[in-house]
Structure 1
Amino acid sequence: MHSTRLNDPFSIALQAQPASLLPIGLPGLIDFRYYIASIVSIFLALTVGIVLGISLLQGPALTTTQDLTAQLATTKEELRTRNKALERLQAENDAFIASIAPERVAEVLAGERVLVVEAPGANPAESQAIQKALIQAGAVYAGRAALANAYVDRQHLDELDKLVNKLMPDDLSINPAASTYEKSAMLLGSTLMTSDSAQAGTRNEDTLTVLDEFERAGLLSIDGEPGKRATIAVMIAPEDPFEGEGAEARASALVSLAAGMDAVSRGTVLAGGDTSTLPGGLIAALRAKDETVKHVTTIDTADTPLGYITVVYALREQLNGRAGQYGTGTGASSFPLATTYATASPSR
C-alpha cells in the first residue's frame, strides 16, 4: 500500500508543490473573511464621509438656518402688527358706518312691508342686524320665517311633495313640469308675499293654513305675523356652504324659493357673508343661474354694517324694477349707494 500511495498522481502533485503555496484553511473561509473586510471598509468610508461632511458644512448650514429663522420671525411679527392695525381700522370703519346708518337709510323703504326668511344655518345675529336696518329705513317688519334643515333634506322630499299637493289652491297656476321645490316656492310665496300694496298686511285666504301645516311638519318656524303678506323680502343665506352628497340640490331648493318669492312680490334680496360665495354657498348657487340673477339681488357683505345698508338700498333698487349682484365675491360689483334711491317705485 505504501508503494501505491507514492504512485498516486494526486499525491505526487502535492509533494511537488512548495510548502508556501499549500492552503492553510478551507477556501470558503478565505472568501467569507474577504467579504467581511469589504463590508467593514465600506461602512467605515461612509462614516468618515458623513463626519467630514458635517464638520465642513455645519458652520454655513447652521448660519443660514439661523438667519432664515430670524427673518421668518421678523416677517411674522410684522404681519401680526399689520393685521392688528387693519382689524382696528375695520372696527373703526364699522363703528362709523353703524353710527350714520339710521340717517343714511331713513325713509328709504317707508311704507313697505318686509319679510325676513332665514335659510337653514343662517346666522341669527346677522338676521337681527338686517331687521334693525330695515326698521330704521321705515319699513314695516312683517315677521320672520325660519326654514328647518328638513326643508332641504332629500329624505323629506316625498313628505314635502305630498304636503304641497294637498295645500296647493286650484287657482294657483303651476307649470306641470315644475319640481317639488319650485311648487313649494310658489305656494309659500303666495302665502307670504304680494305685489299689490293694497293687499299688504292681509292674509291670503286661499293659503290660510299653509304656515300652520308647514310648522306642524317641522319644515319651518315663524315669528311675528309673516302670514300677513309682505311686499318685499330678504332671505338670509346659510353661514356655511353646503357640503357632501346632495349639497347642490339643497342650494338649488333655496334658490327656487328665492326666485318664487320674487315672482309674486315687489322684490327679493338674498343676503349673506363672503362664505356664501364659496362652492356650495347659496349666493354662489344663485349667481350661477343666468335667469334668476336678472330678478333677484344678492349681497355677499351682509355680515357687516356696510352690508346692512346695502341690503336696504338693494331692496329700494328692487322696488325700482332693477336687480344687481353686490359685494366682494365672484360675480359681484360695487354698490352705488348714492344713486339708488332716486326714483319713485313703479309697479313690478
Structure 2
Amino acid sequence: MIDFRYHIVSIVSIFLALAVGIVLGAGPLQGEIGSTLQNEIAGLRTDKADLNEQLTTARAGTEARDSFLDAVSGRVYGGALRDRTVAVVVMPGSDAAVSESVTAALGTAGSRVTSTTTVTEDWVSTNAKTVAARDEVVGQVATSTGVDTSSGSAAPRDLLLATLLARTAPAGDDGPDDSTARTGLQALADAGLVSLDAESFSRADLVVVVSGTVSDGDSSARTATAQQWVALASALDARSRGVVVADDLAAQADGTPVLTVLRDTAAATREVSSVDDAGSPLGVASVVFALVQQDGGSAGQYGLGAGTDAAYAPVPASAATS
C-alpha cells in the first residue's frame, strides 16, 4: 500500500519543480523567453501591416476596374438589346441598388423597360386566409383578361402574372392586348399582391427578375419559399423570350438566396439564366449579355459564386467588334 510518507514526498516534489521553474523563468531564461516573445510580436505586426497594404492595393484595383467598366459600358453593350422590350420583376428581399443599376443598363443597351413590377410576400404565402383571398383575385383577373391558367404545371398565379407581363413573340402570341393586360395588373396591385410602375406599359419580350433572400423561417421553410420564387421565374421564362435572374450575393443578408436555390434546380437552370454579381459593372454587363443569349434561345449561369458556367456572360459578336 501507498503510505502517508509517499504522499508527502510526492507533494514536496511538485512544489520543488514549481520552485525550480519560477527561479529559472525569473533568472537565466527570462531574457531568452522575453526576447522570443518580442520577436514574434514584431513579426506579427509586420505581417499585419503587409496584409493591410495588400488589401488596400486590391481594393484600389477593384475600384479602378469598376470605374473603367462604368466609363466604357455604353461602348461595350450599347445597342445590344435594340428593338427589344424588357419587363423588370422585383422580388422581396432584393437589393434596390441592383434594380436601379440593371434598369439603367437596359436603357443603355437600347431596350425599353415596359414595366417594373414588385411582387409582395403574399404571392408565395401559405397562410390559409391569404391563399384563399389571393386565389380568388387570381381567378377573377384570369377571367376578365381571358388568360388560361389551367395549362402547364405552373401555379395559376404564376401563369397569370407571366402572361400579363410578357409575350413569347411580337406576333402570334395568344395573350391579352396591352390595355387588357395593364388593367389586370392593376387589379393584382389593388389586391396588394404586386405594385406596378409602368408609365408606358406593354407586354415585354424579355424579363429580368431581381431576386432576393428569404429570411423568415427555418432552413427548410426558407428553401421551400425560395422554390416558389424559382417557379415564378420559370413561368416567366415559359411565357417570354427569356429570363435572367439577377442578384448581388456578396451584399445579401443572412438567409436563403433565391438565386442559389435556382442554381440547385436543374430543370430551372436549363431554361433560366442567372447573374450573381449584378451589383458590379461586370455583373450588370453580364445581365445585358445574358438577355441577348436568352433571346437567342440559350441559358447560362454567370458570376463569381457557386454553380456558374463562367465569370461573365458571352459577349455577342456585334459588341465584340463594335
TM-score scaled by structure 2? 0.82
Secondary structure (helix, strand or coil) at the match of 2:178 reads coil
Match of 2:315 in 1: 338
Could you say if the C-alpha distance between residues 241 and 52 of structure 1 is closer, same or farther in structure 2, counting changes exceeding 3 Å? farther
| Pick aligned residue for 1:268 from 236, 240, 243 | 243
1:68 and 1:209 mapped to 2: Cα distance? Answer: 72
Report the alpha carbon displacement of residue 68 of structure 1 after superposing the two structures with TM: 2.1
Equivalent position amino acid for 1:221 in 2: S
Report the alpha carbon displacement of residue 299 of structure 1 after superposing the two structures with TM: 0.8
Match of 1:65 in 2: 37
Report the alpha carbon displacement of residue 322 of structure 1 after superposing the two structures with TM: 0.8
Match of 1:130 in 2: 102
**1:252 has 2:227 as partner:** yes
Report the alpha carbon displacement of residue 112 of structure 1 after superposing the two structures with TM: 0.9
Report the alpha carbon displacement of residue 288 of structure 1 after superposing the two structures with TM: 1.2
1:282 and 1:273 mapped to 2: Cα distance? Answer: 11
Could you say if the C-alpha distance between residues 254 and 337 of structure 1 is closer, same or farther in structure 2, counting changes exceeding 3 Å? same
Equivalent position amino acid for 2:88 in 1: V
CA contact (8 A) 1:115 1:226 kept: no
Match of 2:121 in 1: 149
Report the alpha carbon displacement of residue 284 of structure 1 after superposing the two structures with TM: 1.2
2:17 and 2:140 mapped to 1: Cα distance? Answer: 84
Report the alpha carbon displacement of residue 210 of structure 1 after superposing the two structures with TM: 3.4
1:201 and 1:173 mapped to 2: Cα distance? Answer: 13
Identify which range, 195-204 or 258-267, moves more after superposition.
Answer: 195-204
CA contact (8 A) 2:188 2:194 kept: yes
- Written as runs of structure 1 = structure 2, the 5 A alignment for 1:197-276 is 197-198=170-171, 202-203=177-178, 205=180, 209-225=183-199, 228-238=202-212, 240=213, 242=215, 244-245=217-218, 246-275=221-250
Equivalent position amino acid for 1:274 in 2: L
1:161 and 1:50 mapped to 2: Cα distance? Answer: 80
**1:289 has 2:271 as partner:** no
| Pick aligned residue for 1:193 from 166, 170, 179 | 166
TM-score scaled by structure 1? 0.76
CA contact (8 A) 1:325 1:333 kept: yes
CA contact (8 A) 2:98 2:248 kept: no
| Pick aligned residue for 1:162 from 112, 126, 136 | 136
Report the alpha carbon displacement of residue 110 of structure 1 after superposing the two structures with TM: 0.9
Report the alpha carbon displacement of residue 160 of structure 1 after superposing the two structures with TM: 2.8
Number of residue pairs matched? 305
Report the alpha carbon displacement of residue 190 of structure 1 after superposing the two structures with TM: 0.7
Report the alpha carbon displacement of residue 218 of structure 1 after superposing the two structures with TM: 2.4
Equivalent position amino acid for 2:315 in 1: A
Could you say if the C-alpha distance between residues 262 and 336 of structure 1 is closer, same or farther in structure 2, counting changes exceeding 3 Å? closer
Secondary structure (helix, strand or coil) at the match of 2:315 reads helix
| Pick aligned residue for 2:61 from 77, 89, 98 | 89
Percent identity of paired positions between Structure 1 and Structure 2: 25
- CA RMSD, aligned part only? 3.2
CA contact (8 A) 1:145 1:226 kept: no
Could you say if the C-alpha distance between residues 61 and 175 of structure 1 is closer, same or farther in structure 2, counting changes exceeding 3 Å? farther
- Written as runs of structure 1 = structure 2, the 5 A alignment for 1:103-114 is 103-114=75-86
Q: Larger relative contact order (C-alpha < 8 A, sep ≥ 6)?
A: 2
Deviations along 1:25-51, one digit per CA (max 9) or x if unpaired, are xxxxxxxxx9xx989957854652552
1:293 and 1:277 mapped to 2: Cα distance? Answer: 24
Secondary structure (helix, strand or coil) at the match of 1:116 reads strand
**Bigger Rg, which one:** 1
1:278 and 1:317 mapped to 2: Cα distance? Answer: 31
Question: Structure 2 regions of 5+ residues with no counterpart?
Answer: none
CA contact (8 A) 2:290 2:313 kept: no
Deviations along 1:219-261, one digit per CA (max 9) or x if unpaired, are 22111248521111101121x4646422112211210111011
